[in-house]
Amino acid sequence: MKTAILVDGGFYRRRAQSVMGDKTPEQRAIELAAYCKRHLNTHGEKNYLYRIFYYDCPPSSKKVYHPFLKKQVDLAKTDLYKWTDDFFNELKRKRKFALRLGKLADEQAHYTIRPEIVKKMCNNTIKFEDLKENDFSIQIEQKGVDMKIGLDISSMAYKKQVDQIVLVSGDSDFVSAAKLARREGIDFILDSLGAKIKPDLFEHIDGLRTCDALFNKQHT
């Protein structure tokens, strides 16, 4: 079968960092490419790779007020900005990769206390005055990424460009696209990287699988 692999980039980067730890942009790009290609031959199949589509947003260069530091933070000068930019450049150089970039709603960007820290505060494990800079994270919503994924799934299904689509994501917003692909005869596989998915999502996919047992050991 001819297989297209679609990767929800923000989801993958969060899960990979949580499970595999921090890596350089080059190391993470190599890891992602190798992981995707394991879908072609690790489940009793010998499939041909059509292309790997990677969906994400360019890093924000906006200046955002940090409530803990009490000053504006230039996101373009942060380590995350440079890492993300270098990571995208690494993917662009890889064969069979296609980047599909949306936009960030950076006009709504803001810093907030991390959820796990809020939980500790509610449990009186830590106090407000104990907060540190790293207890805050930047919140910026993506725009256009889900739409690009849905459009590419629909296009490949209608044009009969592939026999199988593997979607690496933990989002249930792609149910409509998955249903369309299956109606067009596409074998639709979801890889949630071990994250729990909604029960009704199983009804609209042909299989749920992950190519590394390490992801299955850490559920979200």
Query: Would residue 114 count as lying in a domain?
Result: no
Exposure of 181 in the CB half-sphere (CA atoms within 13 A): 30
Q: What is the pTM of this model?
A: 0.88
Q: Of 167 and 45, which is predicted with more confidence?
A: 167
Provide the number of structural domains found in the chain. 1
Give the Cβ contact number of residue 163 at 10 Å.
16
In percent, the amount of the chain with pLDDT more than 70 equals 97
Query: Would residue 166 count as lying in a domain?
Result: yes
Longest dimension (CA), the chain: 59
Would you give the distance in Å from CA 57 to the centre of its chain? Answer: 10
Once rounded to an integer, what is the mean pLDDT over residues 41-63?
91
Q: What is the pLDDT of residue 106?
A: 81
Query: Would residue 112 count as lying in a domain?
Result: no
Residue 63 has pLDDT above 80, yes or no: yes
Residue 109 has pLDDT above 80, yes or no: yes
Once rounded to an integer, what is the mean pLDDT over residues 100-112?
89
Q: What is the pLDDT of residue 219?
A: 52
Q: Of 213 and 75, which is predicted with more confidence?
A: 75
Q: What is the pLDDT of residue 76?
A: 93
Query: Would residue 74 count as lying in a domain?
Result: no
CATH number of residue 16's parent domain: 3.40.50.1010
Query: Would residue 68 count as lying in a domain?
Result: no
Instruction: Decide if 214 contacts 20 (C-beta within 8 A).
Output: yes
- Identify the domain containing residue 98 by its residue range: 2-60+80-103+142-216
Task: Dump pLDDT digits (tens) for 117-150.
Answer: 999 999 989 988 889 988 998 888 888 898 999 9
Q: What are 51's strand-pairing partners?
A: 4
